[in-house]
Structure 1
């Protein structure tokens, strides 16, 4: 990759996995907007599968009373089904509607599900810092490794390495076959950061990107952990630690030669990687990944605004405040529409003009959406997994 392209990507992908913080920032609670009935709803999503995951009995003392602490336990699609983990420590594999196997790890799970490219190994992390690998076909435990602290995000399985960002600010590379720690890399810890993280990102075969809570992006060799380059990123300034926060908690989006990234400090930035120049900067604070629908770039803001801008010029196309303070997920493209989930388990479908034209419902707050091969995958805070076709 051209050196300037790497520089642009570094500047855009800041703090992909914000970890190692002593304090976290919680948004001020505001009353969610009431939903307005859709006059003539259209059919966009067709239900395929829904299941309530076995929650187990392994939630640590006090956690049952802290349900407001929503954990983003992402599912891992696999062949014709999926593998999901419940907060209570149970990992379940489904082939269509059939439950293939269930494994009770007897510990609260915090990091969601990672699966290797061949679909043979599943990795999850627990609150006590254990990293556990399972056989994706049977659910049998392959190995278990204990780290000093937990990881709040799914691992990245990159060839024969399991790459993790831990809460203590240390990055780890584990052997995929044995779980042994091959390398670790220490970063600075931040006193205040956005609550949440995105998984590490594989840039290419020789480069893995880790964002850290101190606002830096580290490019490491995934095999050895050797640092390739480090950059300080972010544009926020202020007198307090909170005012200086400039976290980028949502994974960047690449469309052709263009790269798009959001930030907590209020910048939606677009870069042309062919020329290395910034295309535009639009004002909206977000910690979620954007989505593209045609010429529109759609972002879900921290306060619940959904904004669409021209993805080449940054010109505002439309802004919707109908979901204000509903704790929105990342938007994803589903056919000719854009979907976004909320705190009540409702998925809203926007058309190209910014109108909500359809809704579907699951149970419990949604934290993220995944659109893969014309299917939309969700897991709610209450452990309900849902799949829709579009």
Structure 2
């Protein structure tokens, strides 16, 4: 487990203790095994770079927002950029005014990010529309939907703002159960008239009008003898097909929930930190050891697994057509077969690590790197 991915919404002494534990773990840990060399690239699937754009360095856990043909991204210094995925043309560029910890959420009109100052910043047309102070940190991109902005906080509370004015509409607080929280994007998204939020290991269906819980479903059960071992927060992205939403519980499980009935369909043990992708028949995820796994969406049975990228540090996959697209911290983007994980092609955009899960917009796969490169790729 990566101690650097954990935050403590608690007093400073607790933070100091955790920092010490992380430092000791770093000093005493054994060197990470190196992955095997990749074989020569055989381009079974032709992929062309259609365009590129540039941001300052991306130094936080970016979530790329897609609305129609528009892709909205952000850099660590607070720059927010909207790009037309068809052409790579810059639509607008603005500054949130401070370094970021979370973003981007967007509905195509309003875009929202969160700064290190614990402010949610909402932009419209390339200008800051409003800012509001939050009661705690957040590492999950705000959700912009229904002319509202929803924010999930590190203390596991959820707050809703009016999208145009910034007026707070409601705040749903959670009793302090788990004392640790992941410093990585969680789950916050709409399904029909329900707001989905990851609260610890539970997927919660909320009334977006007032934040009241309609149902709560555990995807995993916390285990272990201490707070770190029991940390099983849900991590994004999730896979949604109709009312079926499948998610990963950090280093514990992958499971699917029927959001129409508010019931767990299945859950399977899985050891990984990144979210999942999927289609009507399967759910796909990358494990912490670089293994790629496909589960049957209906019942959770393992369809196949591939260790071709074993020991590599991978993003969550993007499922597009018959292909899975996965980024790596070496800067490589892998195009793999959905059928069995076989390699179809691979590219290296600019040599720096891939900063976010690849996304699709306007028949274009969009990849963002740590150096701030934004690249649009299209298959032949």
* 1:126-165 paired onto structure 2 within 5 Å: 126-136=115-125, 139-165=126-152
* 1:267-346 paired onto structure 2 within 5 Å: 267-270=253-256, 281-292=267-278, 295-312=281-298, 314-346=300-332
**Higher RCO, Cα 8 Å, sep 6+:** 1
Residue 180 of structure 2, aligned match among 149, 168, 192? 192
Instruction: Determine whether 1:204 maps to 2:196.
Output: no
Q: Could you say if the C-alpha distance between residues 278 and 383 of structure 1 is closer, same or farther in structure 2, counting changes exceeding 3 Å?
A: same
Instruction: Determine whether 1:261 maps to 2:263.
Output: no
Unaligned runs of 5+ in 1: 1-17, 56-66
Q: CA deviation at 1:296?
A: 4.3
CA distance in 2, matches of 1:196, 1:188: 21
Partner SS for 2:158? strand
Residue 61 of structure 2, aligned match among 45, 68, 72? 72
The answer as to whether partners of 2:120 and 2:133 remain within 8 angstroms in 1 is: yes
Q: Could you say if the C-alpha distance between residues 293 and 350 of structure 1 is closer, same or farther in structure 2, counting changes exceeding 3 Å?
A: farther
Who is 1:240 aligned against? 226
Structural RMSD (CA): 3.2
Deviations 1:145-192 (A, max 9, x none): 122333212111121221001224332111111112121121244333
Partner SS for 1:386? strand
The answer as to whether partners of 2:69 and 2:362 remain within 8 angstroms in 1 is: no
Greater CA drift, 287-296 or 81-90: 287-296
Who is 1:7 aligned against? none
Unaligned runs of 5+ in 2: 1-5
* 1:67-146 paired onto structure 2 within 5 Å: 71-78=60-67, 80-95=69-84, 96-116=87-107, 119-136=108-125, 139-146=126-133
CA distance in 2, matches of 1:279, 1:345: 36
The answer as to whether partners of 1:288 and 1:330 remain within 8 angstroms in 2 is: yes
Q: Could you say if the C-alpha distance between residues 388 and 232 of structure 1 is closer, same or farther in structure 2, counting changes exceeding 3 Å?
A: same
CA distance in 1, matches of 2:188, 2:226: 28
Q: Could you say if the C-alpha distance between residues 368 and 220 of structure 1 is closer, same or farther in structure 2, counting changes exceeding 3 Å?
A: same
CA distance in 1, matches of 2:64, 2:263: 36
Deviations 1:192-216 (A, max 9, x none): 33331224121332x3122234x44
Who is 1:6 aligned against? none
CA distance in 1, matches of 2:123, 2:320: 31
Q: Could you say if the C-alpha distance between residues 296 and 201 of structure 1 is closer, same or farther in structure 2, counting changes exceeding 3 Å?
A: closer
Who is 1:5 aligned against? none
The answer as to whether partners of 1:338 and 1:350 remain within 8 angstroms in 2 is: yes
Who is 1:375 aligned against? 364
